[in-house]
């Protein structure tokens, strides 16, 4: 299981407001057929699942701004793919909280 942080930014939209784009990208997550968990944050989205599934979802997320009129899109991803044990979003947070 992997955890991916993804940020998709449409460029050259003529406005500084991105909420409509974020909402449209979020619909990809809500409609995903892949077995994923996700969490929207103020600056990015965190997705958990099998790596191949995550790549497929991120690809669809990247395409959304183009479908909504953007001519350029910058998507950044960070992958945490741990193979020695199963890691989840919740487990990572709990691990830090236990150390506080």
**Looking at residue 13, what is its pLDDT?**
87
CA-CA distance, 79 to 29, in Å (whole number)? 17
21-34, pLDDT tens digit by residue? 999 999 999 999 99
Fold topology of 2-98: Alpha-Beta Plaits (3.30.70)
The H or E element spanning position 78 is: strand 72-81
Residue 57 in tokens: 């979802």
- In the predicted structure, residue 87 carries a pLDDT above the cut 90: no
49-80, pLDDT tens digit by residue? 999 999 999 999 999 999 999 999 999 999 99
Task: Confirm if 47 and 37 have CB atoms less than 8 A apart.
Answer: yes
| The residue count for the chain | 100
């Amino acid at each position: 299981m992997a955890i991916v942080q993804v940020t998709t930014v449409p460029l050259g939209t003529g406005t500084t407001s991105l909420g409509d784009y974020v909402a449209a990208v979020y619909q990809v997550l809500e409609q995903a057929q892949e077995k994923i968990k996700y969490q929207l944050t103020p600056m990015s989205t965190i997705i958990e699942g099998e790596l191949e599934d995550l790549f497929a979802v991120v690809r669809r997320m990247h395409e959304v701004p183009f479908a909504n009129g953007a001519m350029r899109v910058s998507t950044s991803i960070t992958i945490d793919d741990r193979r020695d044990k199963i890691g989840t979003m919740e487990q990572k947070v709990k691990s830090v909280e236990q150390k506080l």
